Amino acid sequence: MTSWLLPQSAQALKGKRKLDESIPPILRPVIRAYVLGYASAVAPTLLNLVLQHVTRRRRKDATSSATPPHDSFLKSLQRILRGGLELQRFPTFCAVLVGGTTFLEVLLGRAFIRLRGQLTALTRKRLSRWLSSFVAAWLGLRLLQSRRSDAFSETTDVKSDSSQETKREKIRYAGRTLDLTLFAFTRALDVVVGELWARRKQRRVAGGQWTRAESFITKMTDPSIFATSCAFIMWAWFYSPSRLPRAYTKWISSAAAVDPRLIEALRRCRKGEIRYGEETGQAPLLQSMCANYKWPAEWGDPVKAIPFPCEVVHMGCGPSCEYHALSRFYRSFKWSMATYLPLNLLARKKNLQGLRTALLSAARSSSFLAAFITFFYYGVCLARTRLGPHIIGQDVGSRQAIDSGICVGTGCFVCGWSILLENPGRRKDMALFVAPRAMSTFLPRRYALEKQWRETFAFAFSTAVVFTCVKENPQRVRGVLGGILRSVLEA
């Protein structure tokens, strides 16, 4: 009778407890893991489908199709919902990982009781937790890896050993789960280093030896990780986009809003295909850009323009680097708000305070992203025009060196420090989000299948470290992941 008087969150918590009480304690983690895995796998694709459907409905009169759009939408919806239920998908992986850890820990705990005289109770508990997580992680990742993908296979001609004839053979490659492995490795490294640093701090504080320098290091670690990771990611996006996931490359390109001809020109400078003062037949690339923006054709000729003017980098914003930076910030802020504001409005309470919080949060995140983009472009301008020529030199060789990588490297170095504009509470999550992607730029996206066991071992070992820590010292696993693991693994 009085349940309607309870706050909505309390009612939700009460409902969750009732649901949990109806499930045996040992099964609760695996069910939570599967549901959460299914939601995380299906929700982004589902949201994208809905947005596309709404867009098509608005443009309904522009085109006509033999298949009714509504039927096509329903078929896509069914395919997405059913796809998440397939055996070799992420939800099953989550269930195997968490369920295997839970069940094996019980079995191994009973087995280790026989070693009562050789191992302490704490050691037995840690060992059973680590081994159960290791085995479950190994099996879970192998399940994901067993799903075949056309992107990780190719058909080639192979010579037969017995004759000179060749035959067509399909070769499979590993690497489909590399991003997941690097994510686990990053979190394990964060747990280990964080624990060692916390113990050091405890000893130093107790002895009255903790210094301001050490406090500064603690405060700046996450921003430094983010800035360094972003530098590697942006360098890869510019010069080796194949080293990044396709969706990630596409999103960066959308946010950067840069003419692809400008990127290609700087890539050719780095490769030595464009050389200032020499005729290499590359002038048509930037001259087509000059024609579009109504600039003199000489600006695109590396023989005559040494270097090509910074106004080309500004893409129609005039000769001033500072005005271009302000223009970039304004445009990027508008673009970011169009993304962040709807998400924040959905996540907040529908009242005046919720609206205010949503606006402030969206504005802060948009300022961070706008500053990220602005810093990158202004870093390029600093190296090309404002500082670079006065430090490196103004001769042809120096100009070639600047446009062969120094200008892009400067932009990559400075852009990530925009993280200082973001909420301090979010910096750790953002740093730990980009770090695995930065690591992936040093590794091949595909590699020989016979080496896959190394990746599986790294994932299983790292996951075992994280799961053991979250059960023994839950606060050590930082950020959103720590909260999710604590709620999932709770009996």
pLDDT at 6: 35
Q: How far apart are CA 174 and CA 455, in angstroms?
A: 9
pLDDT at 166: 72
pLDDT at 71: 67
CA angle 299, 318, 372 (to 5 degrees): 105
pLDDT at 18: 59
Q: How far apart are CA 468 and CA 333, in angstroms?
A: 42
pLDDT at 202: 92
Query: Residue 466: which residues within 8 A CB-CB, separation 6 or more?
Result: 184, 187, 188, 191, 477, 485
pLDDT at 24: 79
- Beta carbons of 405 and 384 less than 8 angstroms apart: no
Tokens representing 84 are 């998440």
List per-block mean pLDDT (blocks of 10 residues) for the chain, which spans 491 residues. 38 53 80 90 82 71 52 80 86 92 88 75 88 95 88 74 69 89 96 94 91 93 95 95 88 89 92 89 88 89 88 88 94 89 78 83 90 95 92 91 93 94 88 94 90 95 95 89 86 64
* DSSP, res 421: G
